[in-house]
Amino acid sequence: MPVSEKERTEEYFEEINVDEHALDFELKRQSQLIMKYVKLQVTALTEKDRAKEKLEQVAAELDIKIRKDPSAYGLDKVTETAIKNVIILSDEYKKQTEEYLDCKEDEGTFSGVLKALDHKKKSLEKLSDLWVAGYYSSPVIKKEIEQQANKEKVLAHKEQINQRLRKRRNIND
């Protein structure tokens, strides 16, 4: 079953998306994705070139047919412009033009995906730098701050004890 345009687009977005919680997987997969889309782009470029050649062939064949029997194509006077216009308006030429444009679109799409993968590579590099710098780690309290916090807790606790002792002394007196 052929893949729909929507499914293809979703696949492209999924493959260019970065999962910052799986950087190792993303980095390993990056070169495979590049290779996949380079191959697809080369294939699309080849298909586009073939479609362009076929389009030129259709135009040449129609040109010959029109020159042999211009009245069959509704031409009274044979001019280059008239022949060109009949060729452009023919169903065969329109069909081949549409195929050429489809191939051109595919080649452009794969080119765009490759650009997006290049941006993904840069994002992976930056995210890796952040990971190495500890951006994704739990916050770490410096020893001095921790000691100061503990010291304050101890002093506060001592003050509470002293207050209780003073109250007892006042009651006993």
CATH C-level class of 5-137: mainly alpha
pTM of the model: 0.70
90 vs 8, more confident? 90
pLDDT of 118 higher than 80: yes
pLDDT for 22-61, tens place per residue? 999 999 999 999 999 999 999 999 999 999 999 999 999 9
Instruction: Output the six-digit token pair for 94.
Output: 């329109």
pLDDT of 150 higher than 90: no
Nearest alpha carbon to residue 97 among 47, 55, 68, 132: 55
How many Å apart are CA 76 and CA 70, to the nearest integer? 7
Beta-carbon-side half-sphere exposure of residue 172 (alpha carbons within 13 Å): 6
Q: What is the DSSP secondary-structure string of 119-170?
A: HHHHHHHHHHHHHHTTTTSPP---HHHHHHHHHHHHHHHHHHHHHHHHHHHH
The pLDDT value recorded for residue 1 is: 66
Mean pLDDT value across the chain: 89
How many Å apart are CA 156 and CA 153, to the nearest integer? 5
